[in-house]
């Protein structure tokens, strides 16, 4: 399968981010908790290398809680701050606020030592499209001051959201495009709905997802669709198609419809809380 982004947008967004990043002390990177590797663009490691880093494992409500915790431990072991989050829920923002304060403490103390009293520490949000950047900024700021949706250029000029007397957040997020020289990365992004469906072969995606679920989350397909998971993936797909009555007008099974249904239900969390990518084994302590 081939996945395509639009180079013009990518270059513009990256350039904008390079400019914005110069203005901040802390980079808050959102990744999708279901696929923290594939939803991370390694460019940010280079672009933000002089900055403090906070990773927000967003959409943690859709991800496996044991793996959320493992990922947080992993990031901490790597020297980054990390918080798991449902960006739609304001209640989770207190924890983020505390970690931002913690991550910025060194900078604040350094400023004080140099006699710089009134310079707030500045942070910006970055992440791939659809990871929840605008939702997070809205919830965090406590009011609808950032537009939801990925529309470059919605906010004109730089605006800072003052969180408290020490910390300000840039109200426009930096958009990173996912990197997928590796086809698995593209597939994982497609599973969570981060790549436009028109570009994809949904049936192939669904088949691969069936394989993954049968292996990683045994029982979930059986529970949702009543299919026998002992069968080959193609047979499971057929059984799913039948159990949901996905039929073509002229007769025969409509695999396209079944694939769309499976992907949709997976994306909406109706198959349970599922994490596709686990941190490397032995890279953190539980
Ligand atoms: P972006 O700025 O990074 O492009 O992402 P945005 O905030 O627009 O969020 C993309 C979609 O993800 C939105 O759904 C949003 O509600 C949803 N979302 C964001 N954070 C979370 C989270 O922590 N958990 C869950 N479950 N969903 C989250 P949408 O369907 O595109 O829009 P809407 O109908 O919710 O407005």
Residue 239, CA atoms < 13 Å, CB-side half-sphere: 16
CA 149 to mean position of chain CA atoms:
14
The number of the ligand 1 atom at minimal distance from the alpha carbon of 30 is: 3
Atom index in ligand 1 nearest the CA of residue 58 equals 23
Ligand 1 binding pocket includes 59 (Cβ within 6 Å): yes
- Whether residue 155 contacts residue 133, with contact meaning beta carbons closer than 8 Å, is answered with no
CA distances from residue 180 to 38, 63, 188, 189, 220 in whole angstroms, order as listed: 8, 22, 10, 9, 28
pLDDT along the chain (286 residues), means of 10: 60 87 94 96 88 95 97 93 95 89 86 86 92 92 51 59 84 82 88 81 95 96 96 97 94 96 97 96 63
Between the CA of 150 and the centroid of ligand 1 the distance, in Å, is: 10
Does this model's pTM top 0.75?
A: yes
CB of 150 sitting under 6 A from ligand 1:
yes
What is the per-residue pLDDT across 201-215, written as a single tens digit (0 to 9) for each?
999 999 999 999 999
Give 11-38 pLDDT, tens digit per residue.
888 888 899 999 999 999 999 999 999 9
Could you tell me which of 1, 19, 3 has the C-alpha nearest to residue 11? 19
Residues 190, 200: contact at Cβ < 8 Å? yes
Q: How many angstroms separate the alpha carbon of residue 218 from the centre of ligand 1?
A: 28
Ligand 1 in contact with 88 (CB < 6 A)?
Answer: yes
């Amino acid at each position: 399968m081939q996945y395509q982004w639009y180079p013009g947008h990518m270059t513009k967004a990256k350039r904008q981010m390079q400019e914005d990043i110069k203005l901040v002390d802390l980079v808050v990177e959102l990744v999708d908790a279901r696929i923290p590797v594939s939803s991370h663009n390694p460019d940010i490691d280079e672009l933000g290398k002089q900055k403090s880093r906070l990773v927000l494992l967003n959409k943690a409500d859709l991800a496996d809680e044991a793996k959320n915790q493992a990922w947080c431990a992993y990031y901490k072991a790597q020297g980054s701050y990390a918080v798991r989050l449902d960006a739609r829920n304001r209640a989770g923002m207190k924890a983020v606020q505390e970690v931002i304060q913690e991550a910025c403490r060194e900078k604040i103390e350094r400023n004080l030592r140099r006699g710089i009293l009134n310079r707030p520490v500045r942070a910006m949000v970055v992440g791939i499209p659809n990871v929840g950047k605008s939702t997070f900024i809205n919830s965090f700021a406590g009011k609808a001051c950032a537009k939801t949706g990925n529309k470059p250029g919605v906010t004109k000029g730089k605006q800072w959201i003052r969180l408290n007397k020490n910390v300000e957040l840039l109200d426009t997020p930096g958009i990173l495009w996912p990197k997928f020289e590796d086809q698995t990365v593209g597939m994982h992004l497609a599973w969570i709905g981060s790549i436009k469906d028109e570009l994809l072969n949904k049936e192939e995606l669904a088949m691969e997802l069936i394989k993954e679920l049968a292996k990683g989350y045994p029982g979930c397909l059986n529970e949702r669709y009543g299919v026998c998971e002992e069968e080959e993936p193609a047979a499971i797909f057929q059984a799913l198609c039948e159990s949901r009555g996905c039929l073509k007008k002229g007769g025969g099974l409509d695999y396209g419809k079944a694939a769309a249904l499976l992907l949709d239900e997976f994306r909406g969390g109706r198959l349970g809380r599922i994490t596709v990518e686990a941190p490397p084994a032995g890279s953190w302590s539980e």
